[in-house]
């Protein structure tokens, strides 16, 4: 039996009937639906609509539905159910009889789907936050293991200045902390209970909204029934946060691919996360990285689809909103599967510190430090820049590094150059003089690592408080 068949004289066109259903995908919301229905049932009891026995039997029925679904995939293979709400009602009536029909008193699927989606997004925030934490933890391990190993940092994809490998990895850790923070923010704003909003104007039964919100772990209740049944901001915010996460992962993947090519050879692709070529026997390809790079496109597509689907939609509920589910599920499932793989890849990759060190020591990357040397001797920076530029040109002509030029050659350019120049532009010193917070000097990086560790500990504690 449909949930709305009374006013219809004719059956639906079978193709249309099948096409408008959502159970194929909203079956993912079954757990949320059962939880929210139990809260509604308790409120119905308080409002005097269900007797104590009826409440018992409804709660027991809902529990059984959850158990059957967990036990067998066939149970939810239901070709009649229109959506998850219809499915639960149908199964409940099959289990407990007509009392099951009472559950829909004073509510509407419009508030139910809003509640289910809020629970789903909240669970997604928690699960993905935890997966990001695990990822940060492995990035931190790798950064700590890198010790004082240096590598080139690039701007415009040209060698710019040497940095510590740990400093480079910490850059990704910062992005992931922001991703986590965005999810926490999204969780906080979205954690409100729409139950009691009914179809659009609010329930016609005196339901205790506070009770329902409390039972479902919401911080409070939504304030307006029209907004509550038509709002999907929390879905959009969540998927937008996921698209930024996916974007960060795609930048990471691209750098790893680049650095794994023979031209760089800064790292060795882990075999467990790579594939071969059916044609070229020598090949090993970084498929995990390439797929990660591509997934970002699809998740950004999900966020875009959500924006465009809801744009210009009049209040309140419209069936268009059903189309917001699949992008949400796709983006969530992508992130949930992707993060542990990235984490696994990161713990397995081997860095070629020797190659990175060699690259860090060449390519005139100490030129900025050389200009600083002159600045410290009192030469105005613009002049110092010009003079070092000339020295670099000379080094280019001689196919050598700045420190290979003789002191007389340097003094011909500027007489502030002295013997101490040679120590000043050594790699260790170049690294050490970037001694500001957030800079790559080893003392600063050590500090940054310990700050990141502590921060990870405290955000993990916070999320355990939610669990």
CB of 233 to ligand ARG, least distance (A): 16
Q: Is 274 a catalytic residue?
A: no
Which strand (E) or helix (H) includes residue 158? Answer: strand 158-164
Min dist CB 323 to ligand ARG, Å, is 8
The rounded distance, in Å, linking the Cα atoms of 99 and 122 is 31
Task: For residue 72, indicate whether it is catalytic.
Answer: no
In terms of Cα–Cα distance, which of 171, 136, 155, 166 is closest to 353? 166
Shorter beta-carbon distance to ligand ARG: residue 108 or 191:
108
CA dist 141 → 130, 170, 260, 459 (Å): 17, 11, 20, 17
Cβ neighbours, 10 Å, residue 74: 8
Q: Closest separation between CB of residue 221 and ligand ARG, Å? A: 20
Among residues 51, 72, 261, 277, the one annotated as catalytic is 277
Cα dihedral: 435, 439, 445, 449 (round 10): 140
Tell the smallest beta-carbon distance from residue 104 to ligand ARG (Å).
12
328 versus 360: smaller Cβ distance to ligand ARG: 328
Nearer to ligand ARG, 221 or 322 (CB): 322
**Geometric angle at alpha carbon 59, from 56 and 61, rounded to 5°:** 105
Sign of torsion over alpha carbons 467, 119, 296, 448: negative
User: Which residues are 161's β-sheet partners?
Assistant: 153
| 162 vs 196 by CB, closer to ligand ARG | 196
Q: Is the peptide bond before 316 cis (omega within 30 degrees of 0)?
A: yes
| Strand 150-155 with 220-221, pairing | unpaired
Q: How far is the CB of 85 from ligand ARG (least distance, A)?
A: 6
Comparing CB distances to ligand ARG, the nearer of 268 and 322 is: 322
Give whichever of 311 and 319 is closer to ligand ARG, judged by the CB atom. Answer: 319
Q: Cα dist. 172→168, 344, 353, 427 in Å?
A: 7, 16, 19, 24
Interface with ligand ARG by CB under 6 A: which residues? 22, 26, 83, 109-110, 113, 317, 319, 321-322, 325
d(CA 64, CA 434) in angstroms, rounded, equals 63
Question: Least separation, in Å, of the C-beta of 317 and ligand ARG?
Answer: 6
Please tell me which residue in 79, 156, 278, 437 is annotated as part of the active site: 156
Residues in the chain: 467
* Residues acting as catalytic residues: 156, 277
């Amino acid at each position: 039996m449909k949930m709305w068949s009374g006013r219809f004289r004719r059956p639906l066109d079978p193709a249309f009937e099948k096409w408008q259903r959502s159970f194929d995908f909203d079956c993912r919301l079954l757990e949320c639906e059962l939880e929210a229905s139990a809260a509604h049932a308790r409120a119905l009891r308080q409002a005097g609509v269900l007797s104590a026995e009826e409440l018992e039997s409804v709660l027991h029925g809902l529990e059984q539905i959850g158990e059957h679904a967990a036990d067998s995939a066939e149970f939810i293979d239901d070709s009649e159910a229109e959506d998850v709400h219809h499915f639960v009602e149908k199964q409940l009536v099959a289990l407990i009889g007509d009392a099951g029909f009472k559950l829909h008193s004073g509510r509407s699927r419009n508030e139910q789907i809003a509640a289910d989606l809020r629970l789903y997004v909240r669970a997604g925030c928690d699960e993905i936050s935890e997966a990001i934490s695990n990822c940060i933890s492995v990035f931190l391990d790798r950064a700590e293991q890198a010790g004082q190993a240096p590598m080139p940092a690039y701007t415009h994809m040209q060698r710019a200045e040497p940095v510590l490998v740990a400093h480079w990895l910490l850059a990704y850790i910062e992005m992931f902390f922001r991703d986590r923070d965005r999810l926490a923010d999204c969780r906080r704003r979205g954690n409100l209970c729409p139950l009691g909003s009914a179809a659009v104007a609010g329930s016609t039964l005196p339901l205790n909204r506070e009770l329902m919100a409390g039972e479902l772990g919401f911080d409070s209740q939504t304030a307006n029934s029209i907004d509550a049944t038509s709002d999907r901001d929390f879905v959009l915010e969540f998927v937008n946060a996921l698209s930024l996460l996916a974007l960060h992962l795609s930048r990471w993947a691209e750098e790893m691919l680049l650095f794994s090519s023979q031209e760089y050879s800064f790292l060795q692709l882990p075999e467990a996360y790579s594939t071969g070529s059916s044609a070229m026997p020598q090949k090993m390809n970084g498929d995990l990285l390439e797929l990660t790079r591509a997934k970002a496109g699809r998740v950004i597509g999900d966020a875009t689809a959500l924006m465009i689907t809801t744009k210009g939609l009049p209040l309140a509920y419209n069936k268009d909103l059903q189309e917001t589910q699949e992008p949400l599920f796709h983006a969530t499932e992508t992130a949930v599967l992707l993060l542990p793989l990235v984490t696994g890849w990161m713990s397995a990759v081997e860095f070629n510190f020797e190659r990175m060190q060699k690259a860090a020591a060449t390519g005139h990357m100490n030129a900025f430090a050389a200009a600083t040397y002159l600045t410290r001797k009192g030469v105005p920076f613009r002049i110092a820049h010009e003079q070092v530029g000339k020295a670099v040109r000379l080094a280019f002509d001689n196919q050598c590094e700045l420190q290979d030029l003789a002191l007389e050659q340097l003094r011909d350019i500027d007489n502030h150059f002295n013997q101490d120049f040679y120590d000043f532009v050594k790699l260790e010193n170049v690294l050490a003089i970037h001694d500001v917070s957030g800079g790559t000097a080893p003392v600063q990086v050590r500090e940054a690592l310990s700050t990141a560790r502590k921060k990870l500990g405290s955000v993990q504690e916070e999320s355990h408080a939610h669990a």
